[in-house]
């Protein structure tokens, strides 16, 4: 089935065609019809499979129809998301797919002044994309009115639970009509999200795409055993070996992100960082530079592993192994999106082996090992543009310390 066969607005069909989409992905094929029928949907699908379009296309069509008939009033659809970046991305998708329709999309999120967002709301919004904190602030200030809402969408719903938004999700029920359509979309599901979903929906259509293999088949992912202090040399080598590629490296903390950026800077590689400590305007700028290709290397914490659609990421590097197993799926899912192929490599140190075990248990299968010979390992350290004095001195000092300890033991 092709998009042109759907009974949706011709403007939407044209916009989809302009985006280069000819036929729906599996999640789109299974989700669009029940959403158009007004049914509740619980949809689980791998990252990069087009979940946003799966709910954007039918929602835009339905609201456009209602506005054409004069029956739409106020905010018709609310999309709750866990992060500001995801809110901006979904808004862009709605505006692109809804171009030349009567549907107006507005976004509200924290970390920036609210006046501009308030002015947008005053101009009128049919679709509201929001993070919970800012949304409730504006509800309390009477700038957001949800009494006419017809559709509630929770995107990356499991992550919203992880971030402690469960109370906010339940509180929103007090502000919207009892009769409404509810849609849950996520790449992963657990008992908590399942329990929440079934407490908020009425006889939902459950859609689960490739539940036994949460990593998309067009992503080639592997693990390389690299010691913690050597990881920067291997990241340098990957970047230098593929100078025209877009590389997204994930680290555990914002401090680590800045340190890795500095290490790359020392060897003449330009990169940017994105993490929760940065101002929202800076985060948007960094993402835009990476998306446009002005910067080819981005060092990120998990703030960017969920739902962010960055076109053309060639390599995902798990510089640090994720502490939560399911975050592995979201991280590697930043590459190989749609029909494109992608590569993901995890740098795993001895201390991180237990995290690797957790991930493999979560995936229910082992991750392929990227074998590195001893000579290749040493060569990677030797060819680095960084001054080798530091690491060689550290190795020599460490060997001397071990030798002294052995001598002391013998004397005893």
**Per-position DSSP letters for 71-92, written without gaps between them:** ---S--EEEE-S-HHHHHHHHH
| Chain mean pLDDT for the chain | 87
CATH class assigned to 219-395 = alpha beta
pLDDT number for residue 276: 79
pLDDT number for residue 77: 97
pLDDT at 159 over 80: no
Label residue 32 by pLDDT band (50, 70, 90). Answer: very high
Token pair, residue 233, equals: 């040399």
Label residue 394 by pLDDT band (50, 70, 90). Answer: very low
223 or 83, greater pLDDT: 223
Burial class (CB in 10 A: 0-12, 13-18, 19+), 113: exposed
Q: At what angle do helices 84-97 and 10-18 cross, to 10 degrees?
A: 120
Label residue 389 by pLDDT band (50, 70, 90). Answer: very low
Q: Where are the beta strands (DSSP E) in 323-397?
A: 342-348, 368-369
- Average pLDDT of span 120-136: 94
pLDDT at 397 over 60: no
Label residue 126 by pLDDT band (50, 70, 90). Answer: very high
Closest C-alpha to 91, from 138, 148, 48, 130: 130
What strands, in cross-sheet order, belong to the sheet with 368-369? Answer: 272-274, 297-300, 247-250, 315-318, 342-348, 219-225, 368-369
Buried b (16+ CB within 10 A) or exposed e, 172-201: beeebeeebbbbbbbbbbeeebeebbeebb
- Average pLDDT of span 146-161: 87
pLDDT at 120 over 90: yes
119 or 217, greater pLDDT: 119
Given this chain, do its domains 3-208 and 219-395 carry the same CATH topology? yes
pLDDT at 410 over 80: no
- The domain locations on the chain are 3-208, 219-395
**Which residues on neighbouring strands pair with residue 206, listed in sequence order?**
42
Q: How many Cβ atoms are within 10 Å of 246's Cβ, its own excluded?
A: 21
Reading phi first (left if > 0) and then psi (alpha if -120 to 50, else beta), residue 42 is in beta
Q: pTM score > 0.75 for this model? A: no
210 or 205, greater pLDDT: 205
pLDDT at 399 over 70: no
220 or 403, greater pLDDT: 220
pLDDT at 367 over 80: yes
The CATH code belonging to domain 3-208 is 3.40.50.300
């Amino acid at each position: 089935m092709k998009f042109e066969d759907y009974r949706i607005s011709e403007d939407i069909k044209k916009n989809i065609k302009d985006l280069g989409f000819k036929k729906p992905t599996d999640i789109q094929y299974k989700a669009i019809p029940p959403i158009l029928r007004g049914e509740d949907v619980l949809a689980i699908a791998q990252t990069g499979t087009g979940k946003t379009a799966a709910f954007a296309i039918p929602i835009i069509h339905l609201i456009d129809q209602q506005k054409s008939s004069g029956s739409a009033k106020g905010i018709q659809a609310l999309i709750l998301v866990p992060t500001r970046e995801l809110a901006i991305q979904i808004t862009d998708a709605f505006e692109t797919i809804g171009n030349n329709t009567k549907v107006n999309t507005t976004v509200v999120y924290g970390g920036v002044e609210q006046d501009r967002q308030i002015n947008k709301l005053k101009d009128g919004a049919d679709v509201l994309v929001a993070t919970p904190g800012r949304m409730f602030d504006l509800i309390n200030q009477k700038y957001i009115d949800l009494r006419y809402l017809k559709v509630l969408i929770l995107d990356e719903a499991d992550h919203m639970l992880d971030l402690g938004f469960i109370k906010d999700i339940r509180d929103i029920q007090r502000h919207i009509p009892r009769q409404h359509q509810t849609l849950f979309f996520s790449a992963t599901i657990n008992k908590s999200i399942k329990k929440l979903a079934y407490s908020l929906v009425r006889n939902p259509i459950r859609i689960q795409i490739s539940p036994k293999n949460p990593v998309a088949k067009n992503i080639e992912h592997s693990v390389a055993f690299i010691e913690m202090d050597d990881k920067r040399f291997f990241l340098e080598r990957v970047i230098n070996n593929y100078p025209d590629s877009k590389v997204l490296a994930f680290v555990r903390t914002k401090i680590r992100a800045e340190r890795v950026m500095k290490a790359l800077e020392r060897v003449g590689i330009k990169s940017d960082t994105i993490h929760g400590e940065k101002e929202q305007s800076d985060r948007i700028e960094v993402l835009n530079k990476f998306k446009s290709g002005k910067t080819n290397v981005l060092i990120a914490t998990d703030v960017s592993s969920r739902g962010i659609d960055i076109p053309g990421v060639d390599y995902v590097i798990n510089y640090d192994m994720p502490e939560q197993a399911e975050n592995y799926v979201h991280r590697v899912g930043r590459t190989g999106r749609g029909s494109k192929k992608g590569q993901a490599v995890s740098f795993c140190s001895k201390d991180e082996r237990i995290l690797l075990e957790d991930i493999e248990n979560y995936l229910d299968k082992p991750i392929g090992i990227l074998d590195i010979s001893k000579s290749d390992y040493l060569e990677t350290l030797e060819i680095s543009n960084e001054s080798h004095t530091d690491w060689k001195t550290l190795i020599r000092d460490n060997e001397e310390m071990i030798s002294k300890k052995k001598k002391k033991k013998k004397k005893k």
